[in-house]
Structure 1
Amino acid sequence: MNIFGVVGWKNAGKTGLMERLVTEICARGHSVSTVKHAHHSFDVDHPGKDSFRHRNAGAREVLLASGNRFALMHELRDRPEPSLAELLEKLAPVDLVLIEGYKRDTHPKVEAHRAVTGNPLIAPDDPTIKAIASDTSLRTDRPVFDLDDTRAIADFILAEVGL
């Protein structure tokens, strides 16, 4: 499975870039799935709903299905967070999986960077970062793209993964 990540510090533009890349790459006829790492507890369910009640009662997995979509919620119940590799095994085959976050994993990545955040680049200490998408010019040994040049960033990613 082809995978490529988007990493960066908070407010660097990762999610906007991910959204634009999915739109661009799908428009080119490729199938895309995404994985997003959350650094905090999150819930896609709501108290009082049947699926929430099932989980609250102790179900390890709850699959919620309709004519439009299905969602599988899996409670870890004090087990360790699954690795990225374990999570990728749960996805149906697609042309490309774009991963937001997981900056410490070893898959290839593009770093989103906004000067206004004042954060340093991650790239100098991370050889898995193959390019940088920034709102400012940078001096680096990696290719640098304008953060808003989605087409060029998509071209780069697709070339890197061989699509």
Structure 2
Amino acid sequence: MSEGKKMTSSRRHHLKSLMLQIAANLLEQEAAEIIVTKEAYLAENCAALDLSRDQAALMDFCKKLHQAIDKIDEERYDTQVKVEKADKEITELKMKVIELAGVKKPALKKVRMSADAMLKALLGSKHTVNMDLRANLKQVKKEVKEESAEVVGDWRKNIEDKADRKKMFETS
């Protein structure tokens, strides 16, 4: 079949049905093999029952069977308890591994959203919040301090005044 041609739907359907028939035949063969092996195992490991004995012998045989069943049942229970303990231990160890590994935090994605849109998403559309904080501020006019020319004027006079102050502290 060349690369350019596609399989027709009838051909595809025919191949599917063929594969299903083959699979069904294989399943039937497998089931028959299981039955044969089971019968062979039972014939090999379980002897045929001899029911030609008297009633006392049959009662004794039944008691032995019940004892064997009880013994096997106890063993099954013991193994079941062991398995449950092992399962609990496995789950506890898994939990410890998870605790030791820690929880990995997913990488945060950048979200381009204004503060107004975030608050609207958090609080719902009922609440309208204006995040224009500059609108709520008071406007303060700056007072320009103009230093008088007199203060800046003659520096010698300024030094003399300070000298007088110095004398005042020295005398006291």
Task: Provide TM-score, normalisation by structure 2.
Answer: 0.17
Relative contact order higher in (CA < 8 Å, ≥ 6 apart): 1
Task: Provide TM-score, normalisation by structure 1.
Answer: 0.17
Query: Rg: which structure is higher?
Result: 2
Higher helix share: 2
Higher strand share: 1
